[in-house]
Structure 1
Amino acid sequence: MIKMLPCFVKKLKIVIILGLTAVLHQPALADENYIGMIKTYQPLAAVLHAGKEIPVNIGAKLYPGDTVITQTDAAVGIIFMDGSVLSLGSETRFEIVDFLFKPAERNVSFTSKVSKGTVAFTSGAIGRISPESVKFITPTSTLGLHGTKVLIEVK
């Protein structure tokens, strides 16, 4: 089920604006396996990485296979290497299934799984280079991105 929630959209606008502001000051990346990072968050969120639950903090790196989980009244803003911006709302479970960004070779893809919660996504270079390569898997469907913005709610 996809629908807009007025108060959630307002919170997401704040998280997205903060995230976009922060991306302008993003440092050079030394870790080649890194695909994105936490730019903003409100408490009670964690990243599942390599079987360990790690509390979210600003600057935390994200990798393929990571799952970001938010609790009640939590929110997380993420910036990916291609410039995509993702905001997670309260009680969300978001898994990065696949992320490949080699634009010089036109070898790009971004597949994620939203098990529950709300997600707002603004595409970056992957969406511009190959819109069909951006996919969101939900319990009842798979969404392909053919624009620049999407809002997903999974109950």
Structure 2
Amino acid sequence: MTEIMKIFPLFFKSRIITILLGLIAMVNLPVFADENYVGMVKTYQPPAAVIHNSVEAAINIGTKLYLGDIVVTKADAAVGIIFMDGSVLSLGPETHFEIVDFLFKPAERNVSFISKVSQGTVAFTSGAIGRISPESVKFITPTSTLGLHGTKVLIEVK
């Protein structure tokens, strides 16, 4: 093998470099693809799903959530989510929750957390957005829009 490497050193060096660059690209691709996520599933009890770009997928611990995603829990299911600003959200059984708007640029004081709860129960503890700008946290329900005026809220929509 060493004789062949002596005869074709550039070939072997370029192959190794190509393989290494390919591995680096594969490792870094998910990082770039996921830089726009707004929250992550920390706990769940199936059956629960996320609808992302009109495609439904089962939820797992570590599932990343994006603007526009809809999280749906079935009977006896629950999902715990932590958002990029440190907000914590718990969804109970038979809940339909949508991330309408989430913007977290605290240095610019440009923040927003707007969600829609069509049915079910939601327990929410605010993070940095609620501390920086409480009026920027809103929950839209079929009959009203709730604004955050504290650190915790419990919502039930029937």
Query: TM-score category by the smaller chain?
Result: 0.7 to 0.9
Alignment counterpart, residue 114 of structure 2, candidates 111, 115, 122: 111
Pairing of 1:20-39 with structure 2 (within 5 A)? 31-39=34-42
Structure with the higher helix share, 1 or 2: 2
User: Partners of 1:32 and 1:46 in 2: how far apart?
Assistant: 21
Pairing of 1:6-155 with structure 2 (within 5 A)? 31-155=34-158
Considering only aligned residues, what root-mean-square deviation do their CA atoms show, in Å? 0.9
Stretches of structure 2 lacking an aligned partner (at least 5 in a row): 1-30
- Superimposed CA distance per residue, residues 110-148 of structure 1 (whole angstroms, 9 cap, x where no aligned partner): 000000000000000000000000000000000000100
Which 4+ residue blocks in structure 1 deviate beyond 2 angstroms? 29-32
- Superimposed CA distance per residue, residues 78-127 of structure 1 (whole angstroms, 9 cap, x where no aligned partner): 00000000000000000000000000100000000000000000000000
Secondary structure in structure 2 of the residue aligned to 1:53: strand
Secondary structure in structure 1 of the residue aligned to 2:76: coil
What's the TM-score once normalised by structure 1's chain length?
Answer: 0.80
Q: Name the % identity.
A: 83
* Bigger radius of gyration among the two: 2
- Superimposed CA distance per residue, residues 15-49 of structure 1 (whole angstroms, 9 cap, x where no aligned partner): xxxxxxxxxxxxxx763211000000001000000
User: Partners of 2:157 and 2:55 in 1: how far apart?
Assistant: 25
Residue type at the aligned position of 1:131: P
User: Partners of 2:44 and 2:123 in 1: how far apart?
Assistant: 14
Stretches of structure 1 lacking an aligned partner (at least 5 in a row): 1-28
- Provide the residue aligned with 1:12 in structure 2: none
Secondary structure in structure 2 of the residue aligned to 1:91: coil
Could you say which structure has the greater relative contact order, defined with CA pairs below 8 angstroms and 6 or more residues apart?
Answer: 1
What's the TM-score once normalised by structure 2's chain length?
Answer: 0.79
- Report how many residues are paired: 127
